[in-house]
Amino acid sequence: MAHFDIKEGEDFYYNEQGYKVFTEKFHLKRGYCCKSGCRHCPYGYDKKTDTFIKSDKKNK
């Protein structure tokens, strides 16, 4: 995996429980889906069905 600097507020934020939540921008910068069911996944992955749902987001 490529190493790059991440910025709070741009690549991630902290949720109410204090966990780091990665943004869509971070996922696109990373370049692939980790299949963890991330909240802001731009790749359309559905963890419940283990499938990818077509999404216009990845074409941006």
For the segment 22-42, what is each residue's pLDDT rounded down to a tens digit? Answer: 999 999 999 999 999 999 999
Model confidence at 15, in pLDDT bands (50, 70, 90)? very high
What amino acid is encoded at 29 in this protein?
Answer: K
How far is CA 12 from its chain centroid? 9
46's enclosing H/E stretch is strand 45-46
Where does the pLDDT of residue 60 fall: very low under 50, low under 70, confident under 90, or very high at 90 and above?
Answer: very low
pLDDT higher than threshold 60 for residue 59? no
pTM, 2 dp: 0.75
Q: Which of 1-10, 16-25, 33-42 has the lowest mean pLDDT?
A: 1-10
Region class of 10: left (phi > 0), else alpha (psi between -120 and 50), else beta: alpha
- Cα Rg of the chain (Å, integer): 12
